[in-house]
Amino acid sequence: MAILHFRCKERRRTVRVMLRIPLTVHGISTEGETFAVETKSHTISMHGASLELEFPVQLSDVLMIENELTHEQVEGRVVTLKKTREGKMHVGIEFTDKEVNFWHMNFPAPGAKPMRRHIPERQPVEARG
């Protein structure tokens, strides 16, 4: 019986899910000015998210993330910065509160096996005469 893999083994604490959720990111710029920028999540996980930001931030900056659908807020720390071809930044955010379920989702447990679907083998077609 053949096995079809839908995803590779996840090596993170929790899996990432591609989900676009409207967000407002609040913070303080390097010049000391407060800002609020509207954006959307790129991917989310139980512990944070990846967002696309046009506003410059730096590693270890603390930002307040507001979910525009639920109006809930959570504090997050910038842990990765990657520049896109369009000149925008993909910013990796890790929530400072490890117990928060900001996305209101159930994620698979750490170390969970990848999802698999069994595909039945094809039966040979008999030639008709």
- Per-residue pLDDT tens digits for 26-81: 998 777 889 999 999 999 999 999 999 888 889 999 999 999 999 999 999 999 99
Report how far residue 42's alpha carbon sits from residue 20's, in angstroms, rounded to the nearest whole number. Answer: 6
Q: How confident is the model at residue 97 (pLDDT cuts 50, 70, 90)?
A: very high
Query: What is the pTM (predicted TM-score) of this model?
Result: 0.72
Q: What is the pLDDT of residue 120?
A: 73
Q: What is 16-100's CATH number, 3.40.50.300, 3.40.190.80, 3.30.70.3000, 2.40.10.220?
A: 2.40.10.220
The amino acid sitting at 59 is L
- Helices of type H across 30-81: none
Report how far residue 55's alpha carbon sits from residue 61's, in angstroms, rounded to the nearest whole number. Answer: 12
Give Dmax (Cα) for the chain.
84
Report how far residue 10's alpha carbon sits from residue 125's, in angstroms, rounded to the nearest whole number. Answer: 39
